[in-house]
Amino acid sequence: MKTHEAIKKAHETDRDLLLVVPNAVPPVAKIVDFSKFLYEERKKQSGAKAKSKKIDIKEFRMGPTTDQGDIQRFINRGRGFLEEGNKVKITVKMRGRAQMHPEVAFDKIKLFEKGYEDVAKIESPPKRLGNMVWAMFSPK
């Protein structure tokens, strides 16, 4: 249909001529109620937003003297978080003389790597940041 015919038809039906694909030859347009069109677009966007899953970061903090039983409890709890689709951050905070031996903190994080090897991959390897050593795990 010619452009002027489409405009005339849209004007007669009291609607708007919406240009869908302007670069096509000939350009693609449709006659719609523009306010209804905007409402439907907003509805589509909010529907997509509601369906998207929000990923949380769950953090476990401990010291370099945290015992094996507590670490096993953290591993089991973190496994549940990873299976739900969340990320897990492990932070080992060192105080006083413990800062002279950061390898202890790295060893604690290696225990988590072994515990999560079947459900998670390490997103960021263990890093030292001041008096803390941390690592991030994300679900496979």
Interval 102-130: pLDDT, tens: 999 999 999 999 999 999 999 888 999 99
Q: pTM of the full predicted structure?
A: 0.62
CA 44 to chain centre: 20
Written as six digits, the tokens of 27 are 């350009």
Check residue 108 and give its pLDDT.
93
Q: Check pLDDT > 90 for residue 91.
A: yes
Check residue 70 and give its pLDDT.
94
Count, residues in the chain: 140
Q: Which domains does the chain possess?
A: 3-51 (3.10.20.80), 57-139 (3.30.110.10)
CA 15 to chain centre: 41
CA angle 88/90/95 to nearest 5° reads 160
